[in-house]
Amino acid sequence: MKIFTSAQIHELDRYTIEHEPIKSIDLMERAAKALTRAITETWSERTPVVVFAGPGNNGGDALAVARMLAEQNYQVSVYLFNIHNHLSEECEANRRRVAESKRIKAFTEISLNFDPPKLDADTLVVDGLFGSGLNKPLAGGFASLVKYVNQSPAKVVAIDIPSGLMTEDNTYNIHSNIIRADLTLTLQQKKLAMLMADNQQYIGQLKVLDIRLSPEYINATEAQYRILEESDLRPMLLPRSPFAHKGTMGHALIIAGSYGMAGAAILATRACLRTGAGKVTVHTPKRNYEIMQLSAPEAVLQMDHEETYFSEAVDAEDFDAIGIGPGLGRQENTAIALIAQIRRAQCPVVLDADALNILANHRAWLQQLPTGIVMTPHPKEFDRLAGAASSGCYERLIKAREMAEHLHAYIILKGHCSALCLPDGHIVFNPTGNAGMATAGSGDVLTGIITALLARGYKQPEACMLGMYLHGSAGDIAAQTTGQESLIASDIIDHLPQAFKRLND
């Protein structure tokens, strides 16, 4: 699924109107029907409804929804804000329809002073003040209205996007002046702002409504951002030959686990094995020998000379992919061994956890990373690498995109909607996964999965996309059994087979 900018969203509407062809007012009716259907599925006609409509097409949508709800016996009060005595053509048409309707309980057009209605816990507010075209923070009376709604106990449903929230960049927005919706009904496609963790407080539950905008435009238009779909991934899957043997299915090396952190090495190794690598070798300190042998008997153990930490680079000529970092520790000898290992690698490399923390302490080493390296930081690890993102998730995402372009790297910013930043500047979001996966070891599992896919012969972009999708999908399947509260990293590994089956089927 592509994610369009606000300019592209406007162009998509225009293209649909011209090429379907359909009148703009009729397209608005189509959208309003979908919005009304979603509202009536959630709230009964006993729910009093207050509609706040702005002067643009978002307001036009809200007015059409108000009329349709009233026709279904909802008690609807409408407030249209026409401060500058100028409405969009479609908003004006729907204003006339609402004014003429005998079903609307009350219709008030505000041009100057506004006495807000009482909003109690039984009330549903329909937010249709401003849509995806907003490009500056709300101020004045609109900001006051937003604060009034947010302070009330009423439930709020936002049309397309909560008023005050901008479609992409909210770095300089005034966060107290953004509607906090309980439900956002967005039209046709998600907006970029909806994938940022720090915006979830405004969006609430999110539903995407298909209003049949032009598939021709959607398919033909380039988008910098997109969300993975199973149809993207199935063609990537490499078949397993009936005549395959372990020597043809890839040899992966996992370098992980200082003393006391053997669990990280175990999780990465078991995930790597479960993802289909023909052979997995684990390089780990001597003291981890027994627990590794017992916990991952299928793996080959290669013991470091040191008892408790990774101390020297190993010969990597025979490996098809290397995953480095889970539980590695940050000793200076480990840091020197890490950069030496990266320099010696002749195969794809995945860096995670302490490997990234070491690079954050030796930022000059970033310039020595090979082209095509894969990095899988969580937000704090990335902030250590690139500097704190003081203004939030969007700033961090842009920094990750710039770093991926500069280093010709593949950077997965982990989170609820993990974002893969590609060397060409494109960003791919992962739709799978759940809050139960916010647990120690989950990232180690992802490292093992991607390392296995690289060893199997997948190129970096395919390995990253498949890896984060399968990781999240396995977590979703696990949560169906364990629930989110009880989910642990081992559950993700245990449910990888079902995730593969689901994708193959």
pLDDT of residue 208: 98
**Comparing C-alpha atoms, which of 168, 164, 162 is closest to residue 203?**
162
pLDDT band at 446 (very low <50, low <70, confident <90, very high): very high
pLDDT of residue 450: 98
The residue length of the chain stands at 505
Measure the CA–CA gap between 339 and 342, rounded to whole angstroms: 5
**For 252-282, how does the pLDDT look when each residue is reduced to its tens digit (9 = 90+)?**
999 999 999 999 999 999 999 999 999 999 9
For the chain, give the percent of residues with pLDDT over 90: 99
Q: Is 16 exposed, middle or buried (0-12, 13-18, 19+ CB in 10 A)?
A: buried
pLDDT band at 433 (very low <50, low <70, confident <90, very high): very high
pLDDT band at 348 (very low <50, low <70, confident <90, very high): very high
pLDDT of residue 2: 97
Q: What are 124's two structure tokens?
A: 């549903």
**For 95-143, how does the pLDDT look when each residue is reduced to its tens digit (9 = 90+)?**
999 999 999 999 999 998 899 999 999 999 999 999 999 999 999 999 9
Q: Does domain 2-227 have CATH number 3.40.50.10260?
A: yes
With 90 as the cut, is the pLDDT of residue 391 above it?
no
Of the two residues 389 and 430, the one the predictor is more confident about is 430
**For 458-486, how does the pLDDT look when each residue is reduced to its tens digit (9 = 90+)?**
999 999 999 999 999 999 999 999 999 99
What kind and span of H or E run contains 81?
strand 76-81
Q: What are 498's two structure tokens?
A: 């079902």
pLDDT of residue 210: 97
With 90 as the cut, is the pLDDT of residue 505 above it?
no
With 90 as the cut, is the pLDDT of residue 390 above it?
no
Residues of the chain within CATH 3.40.1190.20 domain(s) are: 246-504
CATH architecture of 246-504: 3-Layer(aba) Sandwich (3.40)
The answer to whether 263 touches 48, Cβ cutoff 8 Å, is no
**For 296-342, how does the pLDDT look when each residue is reduced to its tens digit (9 = 90+)?**
999 999 999 999 999 999 999 999 999 999 999 999 999 999 999 99
pLDDT of residue 290: 97
Task: Count CA atoms closer than 13 A to 481's CA, side-chain side.
Answer: 11
Residues of the chain within CATH 3.40.50.10260 domain(s) are: 2-227
Which parts of 328-456 are beta strand (E)? 349-351, 374-375, 410-413, 419-421, 427-429
Q: Report DSSP letters for 436-466, one per residue.
A: GG-STTHHHHHHHHHHHHHHHT--HHHHHHH
The answer to whether 379 touches 386, Cβ cutoff 8 Å, is no
**Comparing C-alpha atoms, which of 337, 396, 345 is closest to residue 362?**
337
pTM of the model: 0.96
Measure the CA–CA gap between 489 and 440, rounded to whole angstroms: 7
What does the mean pLDDT of the chain come to?
97
For the chain, give the percent of residues with pLDDT over 70: 100
Measure the CA–CA gap between 497 and 453, rounded to whole angstroms: 14
Mean pLDDT score, 437-443: 98
